[in-house]
Amino acid sequence: MPNMPKRIILLTLQTFSTTGGIQKMTRTLAHSLFHISKQQKWDFKLWSLYDSRYDLMSQYLAPENFVGFGRSKFKLGIATLVKGTRADIVILSHVNLALIGVIIKILNPKCQLWLVAHGIEVWRPLTIVKRAFVRHFSSKIICVSSFTKQQMIKWHNVDAEKCIVLNNAVDPFIKHPDEFEKPEYLLNRYSLTPENQVIFTLTRLASSEQYKGYEQVIKAVSMLKNRFPDIRYILSGQYDSTEESRIKELISSCEVEENVILTGFLHEKELADYFLLADLFVLPSKKEGFGIVFIEALACGLPVICGNADGSVDAIRNGELGTAINVNDLDELERTIVTYLQHPLTTAKRASLQSRCLSHFNEKNYRKNLLKLINDELAT
Amino acid sequence: MCRIAGIISKKLKPAEIREKVAIMCHALRHGGPDDEGIFCDDEKGLVFGHRRLSIIDLSQNGHQPMADVHQKIWITFNGEIYNYPELKEKLLALGAKFHSNTDTEVILQAYIHWGMASFSKFRGIFAFGLYDTEKSLTYLVRDSAGVKPLYYHTGDGELSFSSEVSALKKAGISAEADSTWKVRFLAYGHIPEPYTTLKGVYSLPKGEFLCWHHKKDTYEIHSYHVAANRTIINDAEEAREQIRNILTRAITRQLIADAPIGVFLSGGIDSSLITLIANQQKHAQLKTISIFFNEKEYDERVYQSLILKEIEGEKYAHLVRHQDFEEFLPHIIDDMDMPTTDGINTWFISKYAHDDGLKAVLSGVGGDELFGGYPSFSRIKYLKQMRQFPPITFSAAKYFTSDRYKKISFLTYNHPLADYLLLRGHYTPADIAKILDTDLTEVEDILFNNKLLPYISNYDEEDAAWFEVNLYMQNQLLRDTDVMGMSHGLEVRVPFLDEDFKKLAENIAPGIRFDMSQPKKLLVDSFKDMLPRAIWDRSKMGFTFPLQQWMREHHEINNESLYKGKKAKSIVKDFKKNTMHWSKVFALYQIQRYA
């Protein structure tokens, strides 16, 4: 049936009802697929198991292109059998959806299955079904970074040709400032002056995930506070109570109560303003698949320091946009922070950093690459 | 005190703007009977309006809109800044000069000296518009507890604001009704913030400010909240000590007034506590207002008299009879500004307070929310257990005929608001769809499209407190209290919501704060030597009127032929059989009236 529109389904666990790196990446992917499909007259649907219909953020795609199953695995199962098996391409945004992929492939061998590989969820041994899926049932594995691609090959012995690196793009709806003043309302909120040197980290602060490296930054700040009395470290992101007590104890034992500001959850609409408030973004994490937050910071002209042993190096274009360090080396972290604080970026340099970041990680390029991948797949 | 309004528009002619603001001021006059003022900047297309209820500095010095000596900053202000004497002292030390004894002038000088950072220094209940002529900015600012209302409308490079929704309607700023308000009203029993009955008119969120850029005709809204590192109080004795100190300070500073001030006394824990503490400050000058009924089971005079015998000042007690309800109901509904199923009680007590010559009163709102005084605090744990089941398990609940069980169908929705509505809601989505003769999907989309709520995961007392403070109290109690008080030119002050006291409560470890062995145990224990046992060792009554009986006998409310649709008629029949709560029928009644 040559005239039938091609059917593409992006199947996700959660896209809108929580916000993390994977969800952000999926939103941009859905937005791109939505627009490509409109242009190509394809039939595109975003399916989300844990979102409800009313979780949709309608700027990303139209309600008729979105199905939220509201946690009902039963409904998702039915939809898979009825509609999933008729799709041309099904993109699974998470390896935990592998079983559904396997069912679709068995019922419709012609359907092409893609998997998006982000980070730690695939850098480890997988169950039999998931391993079978990545090795045999999927036709492409979209890796968000070269590091993730290497890990896919290393851990699961996946055919290298099947693994395509497609770096994330900056969320099309995040504000790109054209002025780089520190927002006055945020200075007021934290009793800061423009003279304060602000280091900023935004990440989930979970007691179950001990790899983000903000403890290192707290320690570094405690060593720097005498040299830079105006230094402030804003540590943002949702935390659980166990982690809250742990961080507070660390802050108190490092004697940096005056320097570290814990903000908790940040509202999306204020995010760009926090990047403007800061002089430096630091996330010395060990296990970022890509680190979408780095390109968001860079898109606001904020320089970044990241770890050198994970996917982050893709986000800073191997050093072109930021500095990667050995996260276990506290001295190196301290030295790097000092370098940035001693040579703060001028407005012109911030603007240049912003435009360099956007020239690499913009949605237009992302869509172009994505379209080519899909067309190649459909042609075969 | 007061009511405010204003418009910024480059499209309308200055005379037209002035006329619209004058219409708004006229519509708001009940809340500001003492004076009226208008300020215009024709070049910027800005007009501020003000209706004054004078409580502090009763002289003409308090006339508003007010400016600094150089006329660089203009303000139209509604509310009270309780800590204005402390701020004034600090500002004097910085070289500020004052020409009146008003708190309004303190806001002006605070802004001049501290800029935007001044907003978070104010302790009080307030909403104001402030125009900075030099920076070409206008701010709309609302207090952190959301006690004073502020509604705004933007569009086409214009900004309008007012203390009441109906004023914006009367001035023709937004004439079209919001198409979703009935759904929300039937679900909640009120219209939750930020929504209103008018299209494009929203409530400014508490603790936030809107900044209007006159040069670009654009605006932004941000929180002015100041981050403070939380120190959790884990020691019960320390918690009690701090409660005593900070609540006493809050009540003391809220008693500041140059006009007569009193206390609403219901006979419950919260109002009794406020009355006793206020009496220590004001002695013979403190007036108390209470209400009683002929209906025995609602009569709280035994408890009221226990407190009144400790009080030195004048005591006013008023009998509210069935015929008073019949006589005043049309006025009450007219005074609501927006439909609500509560507030009748506040309307009456405010009326009597006003008739007794008072201009401001203290009320006990907030105690239940902060210290676990509602059944929802224990019910929320059951909710947690029920949430362990897949949502589909509860989908059959909508077929239950009993109202109580029907609400279980809220569990089919995976949304924090569904949890709240299960605890506090009126009609279920299926019933709302039938009443309004619309699609269930449409009702669900309207109710659950709010993405700004924090994700509820623990289902503990702190989550319950969040719901009660931010949804029920904010949208129902505070709004109704303000609008009903102001309809009689009476300012209602709420010491439990003093910013410092609220923060203190939130910093107390949940195990101490919500000791559920007895309602509001921590609060009671903090004042045990002051509060008579009979007041706290009793079943909860609340500030309740015999409305089930009165409404069942009301010739319109009980007349099913006045209601449209089969569903509505059958609800009224159930009500007459006494198997339906009055508040649900009262909601229907208002929907009919609005239609």
Nearest to residue A213, comparing CAs of A282, A118, A279?
A: A282
Which residue spans within chain A are E strands per DSSP? Answer: 7-12, 43-48, 66-68, 89-92, 112-117, 140-143, 163-165, 197-202, 231-236, 260-264, 280-283, 304-307, 322-325
Q: Compute the distance between CA of residue A162 and CA of residue A115 in angstroms, rounded to an integer.
A: 10
Contact criterion met (CB below 8 Å) for A34 and A44: yes
The encoded tokens of residue B541 equal 């009554």
Q: Compute the distance between CA of residue B539 and CA of residue B522 in angstroms, rounded to an integer.
A: 17
Q: Is the pLDDT of residue B453 over 70?
A: no
Among the partner-chain residues B119, B209, B391, the one whose CB lies closest to the CB of A71 is B391
Q: Please, what's the b/e burial string for B275-299 (b: 16 or more CB within 10 A of its CB; e: otherwise)?
A: bbbbbeebeeebbbbbbebeeeebb
Continuous H helices in B309-460: 322-335, 344-355, 367-371, 376-386, 403-406, 416-424, 429-436, 440-447
CB-CB neighbours of B228 under 10 Å: 10
How do residues A176-187 score in pLDDT, each as one tens digit? 899 999 999 999
The encoded tokens of residue B198 equal 């008018």
Contact criterion met (CB below 8 Å) for B558 and B546: no
Mean pLDDT of A12-18: 91
Among the partner-chain residues A74, A185, A248, the one whose CB lies closest to the CB of B392 is A74
Place of tokens 């107390």: B508
The encoded tokens of residue A236 equal 């943002």
How do residues B156-198 score in pLDDT, each as one tens digit? 899 999 999 999 999 999 989 999 999 999 999 999 999 999 9
DSSP classification of residue A346 = P
Q: Which helix (H) or strand (E) holds A36?
A: helix A21-40
pLDDT given at position B374: 82
HSE-up of residue A144 (Cα within 13 Å, Cβ side): 31
DSSP classification of residue B205 = P
The encoded tokens of residue A121 equal 């969820």
How do residues B253-279 score in pLDDT, each as one tens digit? 999 888 889 999 998 999 999 999 999
A330 contacts: CB under 8 Å, gap ≥ 6: A216, A219, A220, A223
Place of tokens 């969320």: A171
HSE-up of residue B300 (Cα within 13 Å, Cβ side): 29
DSSP string, A239-271: B-HHHHHHHHHHHHHTT-TTTEEEEES--GGGH
Q: Which residues of B touch A70 (CB under 8 A)?
A: 391, 413-414
CB contact under 8 A, B451 and A57: yes
pLDDT category at A1 given cuts 50, 70, 90 is very low
HSE-up of residue B546 (Cα within 13 Å, Cβ side): 23
- Sheet with B151-155: strands ordered across: B35-41, B46-52, B3-8, B158-162, B151-155, B201-203
Coil, helix or strand at residue A81: helix
How do residues B5-41 score in pLDDT, each as one tens digit? 999 999 999 999 999 999 999 999 998 888 999 999 9
Q: What are phi and psi of B73, to 5 degrees?
A: -120, 130
DSSP string, B360-374: EEE--TTHHHHHT-S
pLDDT given at position A369: 97
Closest alpha carbon within chain B to A68: B414
Helices and strands, number each (H, E), in chain B? 25, 17
Closest alpha carbon within chain B to A187: B117
Q: Which residues of A touch B415 (CB under 8 A)?
A: 52, 54
Nearest to residue A289, comparing CAs of A258, A311, A314, A264?
A: A311
ipTM of this predicted structure: 0.76
Contact criterion met (CB below 8 Å) for B259 and B53: no
Q: How far is B416 from chain A (nearest CA, A)?
A: 11
The encoded tokens of residue A103 equal 């069912």
Contact criterion met (CB below 8 Å) for A318 and A145: no
Q: Is the pLDDT of residue A2 over 60?
A: no
* Burial of residue B142 (number of CB atoms within 10 Å: 0-12, 13-18, 19+): buried
Mean pLDDT of B393-420: 78
Question: What pTM was computed for the model?
Answer: 0.87
Flag the least confident range among A300-304, A340-344, B281-285, B353-357.
B281-285
Mean pLDDT of chain B: 91
Whole-number Cα distances in Å, B141 to A15, B308, B340: 34, 39, 25
How do residues A240-259 score in pLDDT, each as one tens digit? 878 888 999 999 999 999 99
How do residues A45-103 score in pLDDT, each as one tens digit? 999 999 888 889 989 999 999 999 988 899 999 999 999 899 999 999 999 999 999 99
The four Cα atoms B441, B446, B452, B458 give a dihedral, to 10 degrees, of: -60
Nearest to residue B316, comparing CAs of B276, B288, B286?
A: B288
Contacts 24+ apart (CB under 8 A), B171-175: B171/B5, B171/B20, B171/B21, B171/B23, B171/B24, B171/B27, B172/B20, B172/B23, B173/B7, B173/B20, B173/B201, B174/B198, B174/B199, B174/B200, B174/B201
The four Cα atoms B541, B546, B551, B552 give a dihedral, to 10 degrees, of: 100
Q: How far is B291 from chain A (nearest CA, A)?
A: 44
The encoded tokens of residue A368 equal 């172009």
Left, alpha or beta for A153 (phi > 0: left; psi -120 to 50: alpha)?
alpha
Q: Which residues of B touch A263 (CB under 8 A)?
A: 227
Which residue spans within B25-123 are E strands per DSSP? Answer: 35-41, 46-52, 66-67, 73-81
B98 contacts: CB under 8 Å, gap ≥ 6: B88, B91, B92, B105, B106, B109
Nearest to residue A150, comparing CAs of A142, A140, A160?
A: A160
Coil, helix or strand at residue B576: helix
Q: Is the pLDDT of residue B467 over 50?
A: yes
Question: Does B194 sit behind a cis peptide bond, omega within 30 degrees of 0 on the bond before it?
Answer: yes
CB-CB neighbours of A34 under 10 Å: 20
Q: Which residues of A touch B390 (CB under 8 A)?
A: 71-74
pLDDT given at position B595: 64
Q: How far is A54 from chain B (nearest CA, A)?
A: 5
Q: Compute the distance between CA of residue A343 and CA of residue A167 in angstroms, rounded to an integer.
A: 30
Q: Is the pLDDT of residue A341 over 90?
A: yes
Closest alpha carbon within chain A to B210: A185
Q: Is the pLDDT of residue B112 over 80?
A: yes
Percentage of chain B exceeding pLDDT 90: 71
Whole-number Cα distances in Å, B539 to B264, B424, B464: 20, 20, 21
CB contact under 8 A, B444 and A265: no
Contact criterion met (CB below 8 Å) for B26 and B173: no
CB contact under 8 A, A270 and B413: no
Among the partner-chain residues B120, B229, B448, the one whose CB lies closest to the CB of A188 is B120
Pairing of strands A112-117, A89-92: parallel
Among the partner-chain residues B222, B454, B455, the one whose CB lies closest to the CB of A185 is B222
Place of tokens 């890796």: A143
Q: Compute the distance between CA of residue B139 and CA of residue B210 in angstroms, rounded to an integer.
A: 6
CB contact under 8 A, A54 and B116: no
Q: Is the pLDDT of residue B588 over 50?
A: yes
- Sheet with A322-325: strands ordered across: A260-264, A231-236, A197-202, A280-283, A304-307, A322-325
Q: What angle do CA A238, A243, A244 make, to 5 degrees?
A: 75
Q: Cβ of A335 under 8 Å from any chain B Cβ?
A: no
Q: Compute the distance between CA of residue B464 and CA of residue B458 in angstroms, rounded to an integer.
A: 10
Q: What angle do CA B271, B274, B280 make, to 5 degrees?
A: 145
Closest alpha carbon within chain B to A259: B229
Mean pLDDT of B80-97: 95
B581 contacts: CB under 8 Å, gap ≥ 6: B403, B548
CB contact under 8 A, A71 and B116: no
pLDDT category at A360 given cuts 50, 70, 90 is very high
Among the partner-chain residues B229, B414, B448, the one whose CB lies closest to the CB of A71 is B414
Q: At what angle do helices B301-308 and B269-282 cross, to 10 degrees?
A: 20
Q: Compute the distance between CA of residue A81 and CA of residue A56 in angstroms, rounded to an integer.
A: 24
pLDDT given at position B20: 97
Q: Cβ of B213 under 8 Å from any chain A Cβ?
A: no
Q: What are phi and psi of A257, to 5 degrees?
A: -55, -35
Q: What are phi and psi of B375, to 5 degrees?
A: -60, -25
Q: Which of B451, B456, B466 to mutate to test the interface with A (most CBs of A within 10 A)?
A: B451
pLDDT given at position A55: 86
The encoded tokens of residue A228 equal 């830079």
Q: Which residues of A touch B455 (CB under 8 A)?
A: 17-18
The encoded tokens of residue A250 equal 């660390």
pLDDT given at position A352: 97
